[in-house]
Amino acid sequence: MQNRSTLNIDYTLLSILILLGLVSIFTLNIIEPSLPAKYEGSNFWIRQAMWYIGGGIIIGAVMLIDYDRFHQITWFLYGIGVLSLLMLFLGFPAGIVHEANGAVSWFNFPVIGTIQPGEFIKVILVLTHAHVIVRHNAKYVNKTLKSDIGLLSKIIALAAPIMFFLVEQPDLGGFLVIAAITGCMILVSGIRWRILFVLFFLGAATASLVAAIWIFYPVQVGAYLENTGLGHVASRFTGWLNPDENPDAGYQLMTAMLAVGSGQLFGKGTSNMEVYIPERHTDMIFTAIAEQFGFIGTSIVVTLFFLLIYRLIHIAIQSNDAYGSYLITGIIGMFAYQIFQNIGMSIQLLPITGLPLPFLSYGGSSTLTYMLAIGIVLNVHSRTKEYMFETR
């Protein structure tokens, strides 16, 4: 075994992170002149650079703490996270709760600015899931059907209140990310496969039933969603399935497709953007890259994301501690889903949801959340012990 007195830093992962940061800052700088007049002088690229610097400080702080000590603060963090979502749900305190684009998802503090608890709760849930799975498996060494069902119930129970509050905001994108994280954690939790197969078929059957009801009774389903405050869900699905027949609901999708397609192979060149897309610096930043740098530019971005996920998987496999592997698995689920969803919605592969593209889209809460997640991964890697013949 090789002992190390200093931190074992993964420079490959850091290099990928730096490259993504440079792409983000560069893209935000060149698209700012094309943003609506209300954003004039916002200097998003400078703010994003500051968020990256702040995120770097968070990474350094996280790496100083042995990740095993996260066990001690898990329930405290989970309680704070759920409490913050409850406060948004109740609209309390009224002077701080902030609404934008029909969603109540932010706190607006006088000096700090807006903070979105729904972003930080993703990492908090990863920590909580990993904590519960490790403690459960340590207690039930000889697993039974009852113990597996018990673990499954715990995992779902932890995610349920978070998913409820996110739907109520409404934040469909955040809801789906929490579902992706929970699904990944269930897959690696050690629950026997026959239970997972049953769960999968129940989910598939439910999805098929919902799809059938949507197809045969679209008007009734739309009216029901409107009455429950989820009318935007129906609008996004109709805009995705039939954008030409629903120009209002499909406007953002059609403009996104036009921007991506107009870039062709090599793009139109720096700052040459002819397609107007609202809020391009946040959820639709991929379309800006596609229009200016074409297929070649987007391929480079996709390759960077592929290398990021590949590296995370490699670190998770290398870890000789189950808790560390669970932590990284949840983070992989978070990143992989958001990357797939954001790029997919830009090319009509998936319906549009309000999800930023990790490390590229502008946003303080989201960028700091991603940097916190990377800090946890680097922490696990730095404390993975190396053996001469094997890693275990």
Average pLDDT, the chain: 87
What contacts 261, CB < 8 A, 6 or more positions away? none
Residue 367: the pLDDT is 93
260: left (phi over 0), alpha (psi -120 to 50) or beta: alpha
Using 50, 70 and 90 to split pLDDT, how confident is the model at 1? Answer: very low
β-sheet bridge partners, residue 97: 107
What contacts 105, CB < 8 A, 6 or more positions away? 88, 116, 117, 118, 169, 171, 174
Using 50, 70 and 90 to split pLDDT, how confident is the model at 5? Answer: very low
Mean pLDDT of 53-78: 93
What contacts 81, CB < 8 A, 6 or more positions away? 117, 120, 121, 124, 125, 162
Mean pLDDT of 296-307: 95
- Closest Cα to residue 306, out of 8, 75, 11, 20? 20
Counting other chains too, the contacts that 388-392 makes at CB distance below 8 Å and 24 or more residues apart are 388/1, 388/2, 391/318, 391/320, 392/320
80 pLDDT more than 90: yes
The pTM score is 0.91
Residue 56 burial class via C-beta count within 10 angstroms: exposed 0-12, middle 13-18, buried 19 and up: middle
Mean pLDDT of 356-371: 93
For the stretch 194-243, pLDDT in tens is: 989 998 899 899 988 988 887 787 777 777 777 766 666 777 777 777 77
What contacts 332, CB < 8 A, 6 or more positions away? 184, 309, 312, 313, 316
Higher pLDDT, 277 or 4: 277
Residue 384: the pLDDT is 81
For the stretch 143-187, pLDDT in tens is: 889 999 999 999 999 999 999 999 888 888 899 999 999 999 999
| CB burial string 245-257: b at 16+ within 10 A, e below | ebeebbebbbbbb
* Residue 151, token pair as written in the block: 């673990």
Residue 274: the pLDDT is 80
Using 50, 70 and 90 to split pLDDT, how confident is the model at 312? Answer: very high
